[in-house]
Structure formats: structure tokens, C-alpha cells
Structure 1
């Protein structure tokens, strides 16, 4: 039996180690990057490399060959809506959908974010039953993109809403270290380790779970001030200073649906992340 092929659009911080993990599981992987310098990195990892850039104007690169022969497409291209960059992410997904419809793709896994849920003063407990109410441009465009994919009858889509992404080489405390007057000291953290991101995606593929929406955040939610103070101290970083005068806002992301349907147990818990 030939190896099943999967296409991963966006072999970045999460997509590249995910591709490597899927290779180890016996899949063949087509992987895309927007950087010519990364093509050799993908190829040397056993990934078939493609130089592809999706924009609101169109798609550059050989998307047909990238999708051809794959039944599953994983979309991991986060919106660039911070700083001076303010793209039309929804238009990018619309352009992508037109090409998916013409391809062999039957199943799409879209990496989204818990930013589709707003932070509020009453710190609600959020499950997938809560209607998203994004309060950021990134969250709004992600939610609209989710619906574009979910409502398309040509393929089945599963949405994965990750909390804040952390890993050995990536942690928000490094950005917060030494900063002052940081808001939301009592707002709960909703984080997820790269290892669990990959494990959850593997479970979705293994169990063939489509047409679902999952929240994905580690089920440990200390307050931001408590957590980032302890984390900075443990890493030998300058402790961030929080503004305790202003009322905190936030949300607690619950991943019970994911644990129940996928039978997934989080591997990286509080003391580890």
C-alpha cells in the first residue's frame, strides 16, 4: 500500500516539526514555505518542498502540484495583523478555497486561535458551545475564515483553536520580561505546548475526526501575574511588573470536548510549561 500523502501549508514554527512527526508515522508530506532559504531544510528533512505564497491578490507558486495526490490539507498560516502589517487574511483563504475545490483534497485541518473569543471582565469559562465574539482584527478574520472553510460542501473541515503557543524556543515570558505596567494581572493564562499541538493533530488524523471544532489549551489556568513572575524567576529573567490598579479581563478556555472525542491526554502540564 502506498504511503498516504498530506500537504502542510506553512512549515514554520509548528508546521515543520509537525511534518517531521507525520513522516515518522509513515506519511509522505508536501510542505510549503515562503522562504527560498527554507526549501533545502524541508528537503533534507524528507519533506517534498514547495515555494508558495498566498496573498489577497492571488497565489504564487505551484499550488496544484503541492495539493495533488493529498487527501488532507493542514493550513497553518496565521494572520499577519500586528505592527505595520495589516493583511486581508480572509481574502487569502478565499483564494485558497478556490484552489482546494479543484484539487484532490477531501479534508482540511485549519489552525485557528482562541482569539476568536473575547476577553471580558467576568472571565467566562469558554467551551466550543460559546459563540465567538472576537474583539481583535486577527480574531475577527480568523472566525470569518473558519466559517468559509466549514461551510464549503466540497471538503470536510476541522477547526483547531489553539491557545498561546509555547515551546522550548518560544515563550511569552521572554517578551514580557522587564516590562512594566502590564495589564490583566489576574487574567488566566491559556497556553499550549508545541508537543501537545502536534499530538492533537496526529490524533485527529489517526481517528479521522472531521467537521468538528475544538478548543485546545492546557487545562491549567493560573493568573498572568502569578504565572509569569514564577516563570521569569525560574528562567533567571527580569520579573515583569503588572498594573494591579486596573480590573483584569480574560477567559478560561476549556478543552473537554477534545479530550472526550479524541481521547487525548495533555502531555505538557503546569510545572513543565
Structure 2
């Protein structure tokens, strides 16, 4: 069994994920870009590494980080907002180059349903991605990068919007007016289920898979975020009365029908 795990990106998702593996008696190397967080990782039983990725270099001891690791979990989203846009693909190429001289045989790549773009209707793993954002385009290219690497077994997990402790889009949407696509369905997943999907993919050795991971509950954005705002005593967002845009509804077919995964944390 693959009992030695390396996790690039021990933040909001990566840290509790690492704790889950440690709880199940895995050894975990974890990376952070913040020196202040090294002690937090160590206190959780993670062997901490200070590693940052640039387009030209990996800063930090990437070789020691990957040493003896069976599985690498890549949990570093693209930074493509604002002025400091990056070449995320180039960063992943550097990781891939390091992997070729490591003990790692399996990669879990945390991707996003943004690779599907703005299509309408039902979406499954069989749907051809049509990314409409730079983030979606670069994620899709990185998926293919790892999938096409010989000698490497890659599981791609396309998560919907992540929610959980101190994280729900409604806090940013509150009080906003004239929002578009209020009748489009939500495609979200709770942190707890994210952790369970990644853990099971490693623990049960799922192999080279492509998985959507979205909770099977899809009310309209208007209905869901209005209810969430009221629950949190926030002013609900206001949506335009446009009904033309249907939006995409993402099914986690492989996850639920093939892998028999059961979601446990409602939205």
C-alpha cells in the first residue's frame, strides 16, 4: 500500500487532508509557502517543507520533499486574478521534471469543473471540456500533462466550488445587485467530502481516473444563495430576472456509480 504521501499546498484543503492521512497512519510530507506555517504543519504531525513555485524554478528542497514518497497530491490552484497572472502550466512542468527522478508513482491532481466552461445542460466526465477562462484552460492543459506522462498513474479530480468553515460564496455575493444567471444550478462540494474523495482515491488505489466531484444538490443560484444569506443574517444578493441562461449541471457519475462514493456533508 502507498503509505508515504507528499502534499503540495497545505492550506485550507491541504492541511485537514494531511491530518486525515496521518490519522490513518500514513506518513505525510507537506509544503507551504509561508515560513510562519511550518510550525503549524509540524504540530499536526506533518514533516514540513518550505517550497514555492515560480515559472522558472522550484524554491526549496523539492528532492527531500519527494524522497520516499509513493503519492504526490498537487493542491495548488492557478493564481490568475489581478495583475500578477502566472504561467501555471510551466510551474507544473517543473514539478513533473522533479517527479521523474523521484520515487513517486502516483499523482492526484486537484482540478476544477471550470475546465467545462460556460456550457449549458448536464455535464459528466464524458463531456468534452470547453474552458472559457484562462484558469480553466491552464488546468485542462496540466491535466493532460500528467495524464500523458508514462510511468505515472494520475487521478484527476475536478471539484465544484468549495465550501466549508469560513468559506461560502454568499459572503462575497451578499448585498450585490444585478447578478447574472440566477436560474443556473449550483455546483458545489463541502470540504469534508473533498477530503474523503482524495483520501479514498489513494487509500483504495483507484488508479488512472478522471472524476467530477460535486454534491448532488442543484437548486438555482438565486434560491440557494438567498437561503444561505438569510441563514447567516446577511442581505441576500439580487439577481436579474433573466431566464435565458440555463447553466451547466455537473454530475459525479464515475464517483457515485463506479466508485460507489457517498457524499455525506450537505451544502
The bucket for the TM-score relative to the shorter chain is: over 0.9
In structure 1, what is the equivalent of residue 206 of structure 2? 209
Residue 249 of structure 1, CA deviation: 4.5
- Between the aligned partners of 1:143 and 1:104, the Cα distance in structure 2 is 25
Give the match's secondary structure for 2:208: coil
Q: 2:240 aligns with which of 243, 257, 261?
A: 243
Q: Name the stretch that deviates more: 245-254 or 131-140.
A: 245-254
- Between the aligned partners of 1:256 and 1:144, the Cα distance in structure 2 is 23
Q: Deviations over 1:170-193 (max 9, x none)?
A: 100001001111111001100000
- Between the aligned partners of 1:176 and 1:227, the Cα distance in structure 2 is 12
Residue 82 of structure 1, CA deviation: 1.2
Question: Is 1:185 equivalent to 2:182 in the alignment?
Answer: yes
Equivalences for 1:18-97 in 2 at 5 Å?
A: 18-97=17-96
Equivalent pair of 1:119/1:249 in contact (CA under 8 Å): no
In structure 1, what is the equivalent of residue 144 of structure 2? 147
- Between the aligned partners of 2:141 and 2:83, the Cα distance in structure 1 is 22
Give the match's secondary structure for 1:218: coil
Residue 248 of structure 1, CA deviation: 2.4
In structure 2, what is the equivalent of residue 165 of structure 1? 162
In structure 1, what is the equivalent of residue 5 of structure 2? 6
TM-score (norm 1): 0.95
Query: What CA RMSD, in Å, does the superposition of the two structures yield over aligned residues?
Result: 1.3
Q: Deviations over 1:56-114 (max 9, x none)?
A: 11100000000000110000000011122310000000111000111000000000000
Equivalent pair of 2:121/2:246 in contact (CA under 8 Å): no
Equivalent pair of 1:204/1:262 in contact (CA under 8 Å): no
Question: Is 1:133 equivalent to 2:130 in the alignment?
Answer: yes
Q: Deviations over 1:24-58 (max 9, x none)?
A: 01101000000001001001111000000111111
TM-score (norm 2): 0.97
- Between the aligned partners of 2:141 and 2:254, the Cα distance in structure 1 is 22
Q: Deviations over 1:179-218 (max 9, x none)?
A: 1111110011000000000011111112101111000000
Equivalent pair of 1:183/1:246 in contact (CA under 8 Å): no
- Between the aligned partners of 2:35 and 2:203, the Cα distance in structure 1 is 32
In structure 1, what is the equivalent of residue 218 of structure 2? 221
Equivalences for 1:188-199 in 2 at 5 Å?
A: 188-199=185-196
- Between the aligned partners of 2:127 and 2:114, the Cα distance in structure 1 is 13
Give the match's secondary structure for 1:154: coil
Structure 1 segments (4+ residues) deviating >6 Å: none
Give the match's secondary structure for 1:147: helix
- Between the aligned partners of 1:82 and 1:34, the Cα distance in structure 2 is 18
In structure 1, what is the equivalent of residue 254 of structure 2? 257
- Between the aligned partners of 2:178 and 2:12, the Cα distance in structure 1 is 30
Q: Name the stretch that deviates more: 42-51 or 254-263.
A: 254-263
What are the ranges of 5 or more consecutive residues in structure 1 without an aligned counterpart?
Answer: none
Q: Deviations over 1:202-246 (max 9, x none)?
A: 111121011110000001100000110011011101110111237
